Amino acid sequence: MRHPYPIREIARQAGLSTATVDRVLNDRGNVTESTIREVHEAIKDLDRQQSQVRLGGRTFMIDIVMQTPERFSTAVRDALEAELPSLHPALVRSRFHFRESCPPEELIGTLDKIAKRGTQGVILKAPDEPEITAAVGRLVAAGIPVVTLVTDLPHSARLAYVGIDNRAAGATAAYLLGQWLGKRAGNVLTTISRGSFRGEEEREMGFRSAMRLADPRRSLVEVTDSDGLDATQHDLVLEALKRDEDIIAVYSAGGGNLATLDAFDALGRECEVFIAHDLDHDNTRLLRERRLSAVLHHDLRQDMRRACQVIMRAHKALPDDGPSLPSAIQVVTPFNMPPGAPTVPIVD
């Protein structure tokens, strides 16, 4: 694999020894397929971050560990790398550890490996499980600050949470959905990827509480444990729709929205109102096509910048500015796409 980088730079990016990287690059054998993939991914990361690699100054290597569908991990990677120049004169380099679905033991293994190897900080999106909380404690005990992103681990030793107020977001979704449905009879499907993600659970709780106050007669039907993956989501939603012919609207706290709409289409059913989260590539397209009513969005670039700044403050590279507020919740329609998202012409 052609590249312009010294072996030591690739080794640093991959978190491997220079000897291991040398064996991979020169086909010397005695390395696993997963290690080969790690080296190739490190070179791709360096390609994207090469403006940072060339600069001198204090460097912060940050590991981003996430269990999330590819559509969201891609959005996070793009947001972080777009913000890297704004963090100068400090230089931030990033290593990515993304999984769409995995047992807690796999995430814990990644976190423990990082604790052993060392890093300047970890940005983490993970289920709120006791074992993961304990792994965060081991990172912090090793002197590594941890920032949770979009979903919190409040009982862990993490330094800060960066993201929206998820309960408020769920209540906002209930308000919008109630306004659009009005007095029409019908039930609402709520979808979360997995109950152990505290952020999604809080969204659903906020939504349920606000809906109960606004219209206690309307039933809420929950679908969960799909990990937000389209194949699993489609089957679960299809079964829910077959069981309840009165479902006419959706609040999606956890994604898989293309699959949800495909399930409606498969049964010839119409979704009257659909509220979703995050302007990933799926939701942006669905919003442009008017298949989503609105997307609750937050500035992911701002979140990634804040997460990096929290880590830099932990290393005394920035002054402490006190506790930060939750990210602003933006209600996005096809006509107020934020900068960088596709725009939709207004049709009379």
In this prediction, residue 305 has a pLDDT band, given cuts at 50, 70 and 90, of very high
Q: What is the rounded (10 degree) CA torsion for 6, 9, 11, 13?
A: -140
**Matching fold, domains 59-164+300-317 and 166-297:** yes
Contact (Cβ atoms closer than 8 angstroms) between residue 51 and residue 270: no
Pick the CATH number of 166-297 from 3.40.710.10, 1.20.120.80, 3.40.50.1100, 3.40.50.2300: 3.40.50.2300
Q: Average per-residue pLDDT in the chain? A: 90
CA distance 279 to 298: 8
| Helices marked H in the chain | 7-14, 18-25, 33-48, 50-53, 70-83, 104-117, 130-141, 166-181, 198-214, 230-243, 257-266, 281-288, 300-314
- 187-211 pLDDT, tens digit per residue, is 999 999 998 999 999 999 999 999 9
Average pLDDT of the residues in 61-68: 95
* Residue for token pair 């947001």: 79
> Is pLDDT at 137 greater than 60 in this prediction?
yes
> Is pLDDT at 347 greater than 60 in this prediction?
no
* pLDDT at position 345: 44
Q: What are the boundaries of each domain within the chain?
A: 59-164+300-317, 166-297
- 312-342 pLDDT, tens digit per residue, is 999 988 888 777 889 999 999 999 998 766 4
Fold classified for 59-164+300-317: Rossmann fold (3.40.50)
* pLDDT at position 292: 98
- DSSP character string of 225-274: -STT-HHHHHHHHHHHHHH-TTEEEEEESS--HHHHHHHHHHTT---SEE
> Is pLDDT at 344 greater than 50 in this prediction?
no
Tokens at 339, concatenated: 């900068």
Tokens at 272, concatenated: 């009257």
Predicted TM-score (pTM) of the model is 0.82
